[in-house]
């Protein structure tokens, strides 16, 4: 019955969280490198490509990869690598705007629902229920197919504005619900009551306490959402209702490469890999941040 | 009695939601530019012919009147005629079969895969296997499905010759063969969306005290998994599936476009490219109805499955 | 010293968090005699429920048994044999859980729940259903035929706990583990359930391990009692002897905090301070920071559990002092 007791010291209890943080940092680093390379490539596109993405070399169509054309050329003799790099500009621009606008809008709506009257809250929540239950991508195909891609807007090219509007309609719900529940949670907490009793005006209380608490999760979701938007942009463009064919965009490039899948498979493989890679990079950043917040 | 009343309430809800959906679809197509009659007759038709057709289609009436006309026609199963003069109902009837097969194939494969992955992750939670599954599933969310489909065609279908690269087969064996690659692609679309929440519902059940009680009595193996764990996880699974039906339909549209299958999805894409308003209206309404029906069916099934709400 | 037959012996049981290795149950050894009842008493977090759950290998996934062996007597007259926890499930040992609201599968009818154990042992559907009806009658569920078709949510807490007991009995155990079976119930129902457990124990010759935070419940039902504090047994012995004559200051404090039904009313004493967090144990004796008898020697090493009499063990170096009844 007698044995020497094992007494644990306090030190081991700190290791798991440290290990967790290290794991999150690994994902963050890999994700940041991937996304960073894409952003740099987009910024310095003229320096790392041979020329203009629309420049045709009709004598040199469907050429295999060579020193002059790293990824070969497409049916019109355009350099695939150049188009691939210039596509980052379009895909990332639309994806970031299509995620940023719903993030801001949704957050504001969520805060309004959390702080507003019961009636306003119910109206917003019911609306979000309906939005979630509708087949919005199908509606998008129907609407943009019938309306056409448009001619562009300000600095946006053809087809970009409908995508951004579509993503806004679809994505605001997540942020609205997140912010609403966060506002409700924080509002019921003691220190907010204390802060109010201490004479802080309402707006200051929100600014100081609620927003910083919710912003972490929103940022995590934002990164994932940008990645999902890239996939959605290319998918809709592939279906013919996103960025018009001919524009250097990954989904359209895959669509125009499908006819030569047997011989020039890289015309399909390369843009798809680019979509998957940047999406995963953004997801890794999001997941790494999530690990960090949780540890 | 109570179950009857629940179903009745759901049916009333269904009618209301469907009315709302027709309104949305109607408005969607109203925003579309161009005149349906002009589109049909072409730019060289005489103004008289156009206004004649406008009158025939009821386009010269007020918007509320047009909407009422539309709803009445839809209730009679008349979705109008397409640009090239076919009845939209006929188009739908011809094309819906392939779409349903794709839905079925994708659902079966995706649900099985998700259950296996979610179970493994839940069982080995916080261990390396779990982390690998969770990260893998997160990353798989970013695989463009049409691209995966083309890779499968190029790397599997063409070299082996085992699977057709377009259309669904007609005989059962051929049908099954032609469904393989689209279903795999569909599963790649749907599985990543399901696994994460499935994992946490399974963990909820696995951690519950009643599972500990069952295990303490020596219940194990298939009985424990099916009768005790899966039976209790069924509700959350159905809810999750119902929530993702809209996404699943979008997935099937992608599958049809990728594998050249003449279902409703490719019909929608083709019709919207041709500005074929009535066909687009009909198919969109059908998809929306499918989503609403699936949601209501899901909710009803969940409440009937749970003895605490069913009270039979 | 004559020794009755033992049903189970657990030696050197330690339980730790799977990650980080914080020890929650530290080197616990216990045994139960055939037909006897061992009570385990302690505050929440003392590791008493974990000790009990580990007998059947039902620890939460975040925890691991890091040490310990179990020996069990399969049939009366046979000797003790080494067993793995899972082998005991449905075979000789079963358990009554604390929370009757969450321990019954909500999607199974009462009859199927009670039949689940026998079915797992290979009994036919019909025989298991008949057995379930008998058991429901035996544990005092009124109208068993009707109740067997009911769902758990249609039953009261007390009725559910009776069903739980019927389930535990359905596999004909020789040892019944009771994890605070009365804690979640109203006082009157508590008493009924305790009476039922005592009756079944006498009728079926069951051995019991009964875990509770309530020393008055333990002293009613248990012949021997082990007192747990911060993951260790700090004192054990025959219950009446231990209550009349506590050797460890923690046991004494537990008794003092018990309301007295007989004798003049006195003010209840509470134990000052709170038990240490696992992984942040004080140096020396775990109870030292809250102990009124604490001395320098207590801070040097955690005292081992030592035999101080024929049936008594205590883990306190100040035991002669406390035993003399000296007030601090």
For C91, the token pair is 């075979």
How many Å apart are CA C123 and CA A214, to the nearest integer?
55
Q: Which among A2, A8, A12 has CB closest to C281?
A: A8
> Is the pTM here over 0.90, yes or no?
no
Helix (H) or strand (E) holding A276: helix A266-294
* Exposure string for A92-103, b = 16+ CB within 10 A, e = fewer: bbbbbbbbbbbb
pLDDT at C326 over 70: no
**Count of CB pairs separated by less than 8 Å, A with C:** 42
Minimal CA separation from C10 to chain A, in Å: 11
Q: Which among C90, C91, C103 has CB closest to B209?
A: C103
Q: Which residues of A touch B33 (CB under 8 A)?
A: 146-148
Residues A202-259 have pLDDT tens digits of 666 666 666 676 788 889 999 999 999 999 999 999 999 989 888 899 999 999 988 8
Q: Which residues of C touch A3 (CB under 8 A)?
A: 12, 27, 304
DSSP result, chain B: -HHHHHHHHHHHHHHHHHHHHHHHHHHHHHHS-S-HHHHHH-TTS-HHHHHHHHHHHTTTS-HHHHHHHHHHHHHTT---B-TTS-BHHHHHHHHHHHHHHHHHHHHHHHHHHHHHHHHHHHHTTTSHHHHHHHHHHHHHTTS-HHHHHHHHIIIIIHHH--S-SSS--SSHHHHHHHHHHHHHHHHHHHHHHHHHHHHHHHHHHHTSHHHHHHHHTT--HHHIIIIIIIHHHHHHHHHHHHHTHHHHHHHHHHHHHHTT--SHHHHHHHHHHTT-HHHHHHHHHHHHHHHHHHHHHHHHHHHHHSHHHH--
Chain B, 77-136: which have a CB under 8 Å from a chain C CB?
125-126
ipTM: 0.88
The angle, 0 to 180 degrees and rounded to 10, between the axes of the packed helices B2-31 and B277-305 is: 160
Residues B283-293 have pLDDT tens digits of 988 998 898 88
Taken in order C98, C102, C107, C109, the sign of the CA dihedral is positive
For A38, the token pair is 């894409």
How many Å apart are CA C133 and CA A16, to the nearest integer?
50
Minimal CA separation from C95 to chain B, in Å: 7
Q: Are strands C37-41 and C207-212 parallel, antiparallel or unpaired?
A: parallel
| Closest residue in chain B to residue A260, using alpha carbons only | B154
DSSP state of C261: S
- Domain borders along chain A are 38-58+69-294
Partner chains of A (3+ C-beta pairs under 8 Å): B, C
Q: Which residues of C touch A7 (CB under 8 A)?
A: 281, 283, 302
Chain B, 180-219: which have a CB under 8 Å from a chain A CB?
none
* Mean pLDDT on B292-307: 85
Chain C, 217-246: which have a CB under 8 Å from a chain A CB?
232
**pLDDT score for A18:** 47
How many Å apart are CA C148 and CA C128, to the nearest integer?
12
> Are the Cβ atoms of C305 and A7 closer than 8 angstroms?
no
Chain B, 130-189: which have a CB under 8 Å from a chain A CB?
135, 138-139, 141-148, 150-151, 153-154, 158
How many Å apart are CA C111 and CA C136, to the nearest integer?
8
**pLDDT score for A195:** 65
* Exposure string for C4-28, b = 16+ CB within 10 A, e = fewer: eebbbbbbebbbbbebbbbbbbbbb
Q: Is residue C136 part of a domain?
A: yes
**pLDDT score for C325:** 53
* Phi, psi angles (nearest 5°) of residue C212: -155, 155
> Are the Cβ atoms of B218 and C151 closer than 8 angstroms?
no
How many Å apart are CA A182 and CA A215, to the nearest integer?
10
Domain count, chain C: 1
DSSP result, A32-95: HHHHHHHHHHHHTHHHHSSS-TT---GGGTTPPP-SSSTT-B-TT--BHHHHHHHHHHHHHHHH
**pLDDT score for B172:** 85
Contact A25, A17 (CB under 8 A): no
Q: Which residues of B touch C53 (CB under 8 A)?
A: 212
Chain B, 152-181: which have a CB under 8 Å from a chain C CB?
none
Taken in order A259, A264, A269, A272, the sign of the CA dihedral is negative
Residues B175-211 have pLDDT tens digits of 989 999 999 999 999 999 999 889 999 999 999 999 9
Domain A38-58+69-294 has CATH 3.40.50.10240: no
How many Å apart are CA A206 and CA A284, to the nearest integer?
30
Minimal CA separation from C278 to chain A, in Å: 9
The residue range of the domain holding C135 is: 108-168
For B262, the token pair is 């003449």
Q: Which residues pair with A79 in a beta bridge?
A: A73
Average pLDDT for chain C: 88
Minimal CA separation from A8 to chain C, in Å: 6
Which of C11, C16, C19, C20 is best to mutate for the A interface (most A CBs within 10 A)? C20
Highest mean pLDDT: which of B275-284, C91-100, C268-277?
Answer: C91-100
Residue A232 CA, chain-centre distance (Å), reads: 10
Q: Which residues of A touch B277 (CB under 8 A)?
A: 146
Is A240 part of the contact surface with chain B (CB cutoff 8 Å)? yes
How many residues are recorded in chain A?
295
Percentage of residues in chain B with pLDDT exceeding 90?
A: 42
pLDDT at A55 over 60: yes
Contact C66, C15 (CB under 8 A): yes
> Are the Cβ atoms of C313 and A1 closer than 8 angstroms?
yes
Q: Is residue C149 part of a domain?
A: yes
Q: Which residues pair with C212 in a beta bridge?
A: C41
Instruction: Tokens 């209501």: give the residue.
Output: B296
Minimal CA separation from A186 to chain B, in Å: 25
Is C27 part of the contact surface with chain A (CB cutoff 8 Å)? yes
Going from the C-alpha of A170 to that of each of A101, A132, B28, the distances in angstroms are 11, 8, 16
How many Å apart are CA B38 and CA B43, to the nearest integer?
7
How many Å apart are CA A127 and CA A119, to the nearest integer?
12
Which of B39, B127, B147 is best to mutate for the A interface (most A CBs within 10 A)? B147
Contact A189, A198 (CB under 8 A): no
Which of A7, A9, A11, A20 is best to mutate for the C interface (most C CBs within 10 A)? A7
Nearest alpha carbon to residue C27 among C5, C12, C8? C12
**pLDDT score for C199:** 93
How many Å apart are CA C235 and CA C225, to the nearest integer?
8
For C170, the token pair is 């359905």
- pLDDT grade for B120, boundaries at 50, 70 and 90: very high
> Are the Cβ atoms of C106 and B213 closer than 8 angstroms?
no
For C1, the token pair is 């010293």
pLDDT at A122 over 70: yes
Minimal CA separation from C177 to chain A, in Å: 22
Contact A6, C14 (CB under 8 A): yes
Taken in order B270, B276, B282, B287, the sign of the CA dihedral is positive
The residue that leads in pLDDT, C240 or A16, is C240
Contact C206, C175 (CB under 8 A): yes
For C79, the token pair is 């000797």
- Exposed/middle/buried for B75, CB within 10 Å: 0-12, 13-18, 19+? exposed
| Closest residue in chain C to residue B305, using alpha carbons only | C107
**pLDDT score for C55:** 94
CB atoms within 10 A of CB A55: 13
CB atoms within 10 A of CB B241: 19
> Are the Cβ atoms of B218 and C61 closer than 8 angstroms?
no
Contact A285, A221 (CB under 8 A): no
CB atoms within 10 A of CB B58: 13
* Mean pLDDT on A286-291: 89
> Are the Cβ atoms of C106 and B232 closer than 8 angstroms?
yes
**pLDDT score for B15:** 81
Nearest alpha carbon to residue B27 among B63, B1, B2, B55? B63
Nearest alpha carbon to residue C281 among C258, C296, C299? C299
Percentage of residues in chain B with pLDDT exceeding 70?
A: 95
* Phi, psi angles (nearest 5°) of residue C302: -70, 120
């Amino acid at each position: 019955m007698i044995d020497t007791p094992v007494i644990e010291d306090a030190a081991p209890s700190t290791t798991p969280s440290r290990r967790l943080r290290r794991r999150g940092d690994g994902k963050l680093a890999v994700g940041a490198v991937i996304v960073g390379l894409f952003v740099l490539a987009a910024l310095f596109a003229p320096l790392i490509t041979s020329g203009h993405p629309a420049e045709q070399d009709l004598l040199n169509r469907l050429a295999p990869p060579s020193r002059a054309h790293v990824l070969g050329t497409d049916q019109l003799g355009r350099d695939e690598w150049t188009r691939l790099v210039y596509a980052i500009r379009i895909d990332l621009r639309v994806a970031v705007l299509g995620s940023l606008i719903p993030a801001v809008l949704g957050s504001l709506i969520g805060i309004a629902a959390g702080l507003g009257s019961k009636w306003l809250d119910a109206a917003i929540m019911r609306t979000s229920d309906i939005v979630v239950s509708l087949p919005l991508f199908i509606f998008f195909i129907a609407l943009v197919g019938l309306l056409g891609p448009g001619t562009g807007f300000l600095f946006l090219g053809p087809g970009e504005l409908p995508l951004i509007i579509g993503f806004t309609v679809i994505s605001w719900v997540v942020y609205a619900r997140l912010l609403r529940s966060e506002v409700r949670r924080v509002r019921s907490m003691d220190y907010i009551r204390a802060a109010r009793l201490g004479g802080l005006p309402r707006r200051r209380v929100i600014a100081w306490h609620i927003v910083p608490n919710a912003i972490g999760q929103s940022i995590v979701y934002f990164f994932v959402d940008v990645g999902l938007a890239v996939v959605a942009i290319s998918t809709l463009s592939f279906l013919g209702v996103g960025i018009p064919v001919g524009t250097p965009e990954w989904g359209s490039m895959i669509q125009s490469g499908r006819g030569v899948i047997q011989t020039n498979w890289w015309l399909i493989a390369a843009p798809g890999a680019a979509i998957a890679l940047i999406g995963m990079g953004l997801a890794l950043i999001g997941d790494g941040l999530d690990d960090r917040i949780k540890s | 009695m109570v179950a009857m009343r629940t179903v009745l309430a759901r049916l009333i809800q269904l009618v209301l939601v469907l009315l709302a959906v027709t309104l949305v679809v109607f408005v969607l197509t109203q925003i579309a530019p161009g005149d349906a009659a002009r589109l049909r007759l072409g730019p060289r038709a005489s103004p008289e012919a156009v206004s004649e057709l406008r009158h025939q289609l009821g386009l010269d009436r007020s918007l509320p009147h047009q909407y009422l006309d539309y709803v009445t026609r839809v209730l009679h199963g008349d979705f109008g005629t397409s640009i090239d003069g076919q009845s939209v109902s006929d188009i739908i009837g011809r094309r819906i079969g392939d779409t349903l097969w794709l839905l079925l194939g994708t659902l079966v494969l995706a649900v099985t895969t998700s259950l296996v992955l979610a179970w493994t992750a839940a069982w080995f939670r916080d261990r390396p296997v779990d982390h690998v599954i969770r990260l893998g599933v997160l990353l798989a969310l970013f695989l463009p499905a049409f691209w995966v489909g083309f890779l499968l065609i190029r790397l599997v279908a063409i070299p082996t010759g085992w699977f057709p690269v377009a259309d669904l087969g007609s005989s059962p064996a051929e049908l099954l063969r032609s469904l393989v690659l689209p279903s795999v692609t569909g599963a790649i679309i749907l599985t990543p969306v399901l696994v994460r929440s499935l994992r946490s519902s399974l963990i909820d059940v696995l951690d519950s005290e009643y599972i500990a009680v069952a295990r303490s009595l020596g219940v194990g193996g298939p009985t424990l998994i099916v009768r005790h764990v899966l039976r209790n996880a069924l509700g959350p699974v159905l809810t999750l599936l119902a929530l993702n039906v809209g996404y699943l339909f979008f997935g099937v549209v992608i599958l049809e476009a990728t594998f050249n299958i003449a279902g409703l999805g490719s019909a929608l894409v083709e019709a919207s490219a041709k500005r074929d308003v009535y066909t687009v209206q009909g198919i969109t309404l059908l998809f929306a109805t499918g989503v609403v029906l699936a949601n209501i069916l899901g909710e009803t099934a969940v409440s009937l499955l749970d003895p605490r709400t069913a009270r039979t | 010293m004559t020794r009755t037959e033992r049903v189970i012996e657990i030696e050197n049981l330690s339980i730790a968090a799977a990650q980080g290795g914080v020890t929650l149950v530290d080197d616990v050894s216990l045994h139960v005699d055939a037909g006897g009842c061992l009570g385990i008493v302690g505050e929440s977090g003392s590791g008493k429920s974990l000790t009990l759950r580990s007998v059947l290998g039902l620890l939460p996934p975040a925890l691991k048994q890091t040490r310990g062996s179990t020996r069990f007597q399969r049939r009366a007259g046979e000797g003790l044999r080494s067993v793995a926890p899972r082998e005991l499930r449905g075979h000789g040992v079963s358990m009554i859980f604390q929370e009757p609201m969450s321990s019954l599968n909500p999607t199974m009818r009462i009859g199927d729940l009670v039949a689940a154990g026998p079915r797992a042992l290979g009994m036919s559907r019909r025989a298991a259903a008949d057995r379930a009806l008998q058991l429901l009658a035996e544990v005092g569920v009124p109208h068993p035929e009707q109740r067997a078709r009911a769902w758990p949510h249609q039953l009261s807490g007390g009725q559910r706990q009776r069903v739980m007991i019927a389930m535990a009995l359905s596999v004909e155990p020789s040892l019944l583990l009771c994890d605070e079976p009365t804690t979640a119930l109203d006082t009157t129902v508590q008493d009924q359930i305790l009476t039922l457990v005592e009756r079944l124990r006498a009728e079926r010759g069951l051995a019991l391990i009964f875990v509770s935070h309530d020393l008055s419940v333990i002293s009613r039902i248990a012949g021997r009692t082990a007192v747990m504090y911060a993951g260790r047994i700090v004192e054990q012995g025959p219950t009446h002897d231990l209550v009349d004559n506590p050797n460890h200051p923690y046991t004494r404090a537990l008794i003092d905090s018990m309301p007295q039904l007989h004798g003049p009313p006195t003010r209840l004493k509470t134990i000052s301070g709170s038990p240490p967090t696992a992984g942040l144990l004080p140096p020396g004796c775990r109870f030292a920071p809250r102990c009124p008898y604490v001395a320098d020697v207590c801070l040097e090493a955690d005292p081992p559990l030592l035999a101080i009499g024929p049936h008594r063990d205590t883990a306190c170096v100040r035991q002669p002092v406390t035993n003399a009844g000296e007030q601090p």
